[in-house]
Amino acid sequence: MCGHAKAAHIGSSLSVIDILAVLYSGAANINPNMVDYPDRDIVIVSKGHAAAATYAVLGHAGYFPLEWLDEYCSDGGSLGGHVTKGRVPGVELSTGSLGHGLPFATGIAIARSRQGKPGRIFVVMSDGECDEGSNWEAALLAGHHRLGNLTVLIDRNGVQSLADTEQTVRLEPLAEKWTAFGWSVHDVDGHNHAEIRAALKRAKNEAQPTVLICRTVKGKGVSFMEDQILWHYRPPSESELIAALSELGGAT
């Protein structure tokens, strides 16, 4: 996708893809037949630059024909370079500008709670996105209202746009920040499906909002991309694509 589309953010997509795979393969109560079901679980991908990962997961989960992936970022296609609602089944909110997902999800969580409706609300955020003040505004509100139906999953790959998160605007101690805002915090290996799934199950019984700090590796699975800021932006060349796919065990 990123290769032929010459699209960026492949590193950000590889770090978050296991989190998305877990959510869309049963951890969240959603499937392609219930995209308009009112009491469905809601997944909001707030790190909208992880569009390639989101669309790959949605495609493999059956939300749209896999051929769509070949038209990623093509003229007149359905799949653009940021997660966009409108033409893509399964997408709940257009994102790409960071810091929008959590306030929106908090609104849904409050609505469900006021309406006495079931359903969990999941927000997938990047760690660099924690710089956005709007998230902390919403985190304060969600903590105040003890929104147990709200769960945030942070893709803690440690690398943001220009440098490491800790060199940019220090986030640590990140868990303590969320705790102080009234959230229950779980630390998980963001590439271990069983661990993510178990933490999500535990979070279901919380009486307050929950955050999973998912430790991940930017560019996970491709040795020359891992932990490299370069791959926040760069699309792979043809030879790099072949090397990457060979490492990941995929077909060319």
Shortest distance, position 206 Cβ to other proteins, whole Å: 20
Residue 22 tokens, joined: 């877990």
Do residues 100 and 49 lie in contact, with contact meaning Cβ atoms separated by under 8 Å? no
| Of 58 and 138, CB closest to other proteins | 138
User: Contacting other proteins (CB under 8 A), which of 7, 17, 22, 108?
Assistant: 108
| Interaction of residue 111 with other proteins, rule CB under 8 A | yes
Bridge-based pairing state of the strands 42-45 and 150-156: unpaired
Site size toward other proteins (CB under 8 A) is 28
Phi, psi of 150 (to 5 degrees): -110, 130
Residue 129 tokens, joined: 């996105």
Residue 11 tokens, joined: 């590193």
- Distance of alpha carbon 184 from alpha carbon 235, whole angstroms: 37
| Of 69 and 121, CB closest to other proteins | 121
Mapped onto helix, strand or coil, the DSSP state of residue 112 is: helix
Interface characters, 129-148, with other proteins (x: CB under 8 A): ----xx--xx-xx--x----
Choose the stretch contacting other proteins; rule: CB under 8 A; options: 103-111, 161-169, 176-184, 221-229: 103-111
Restricted to residues 69-98, the positions that interact with other proteins (CB under 8 A) are 85, 92-94, 97
Per DSSP, the chain holds a count of helices (H) and strands (E) of 10, 5
Binding site for other proteins (CB under 8 A): 38, 85, 92-94, 97, 99-100, 102-112, 114-115, 133-134, 137-138, 140-141, 144
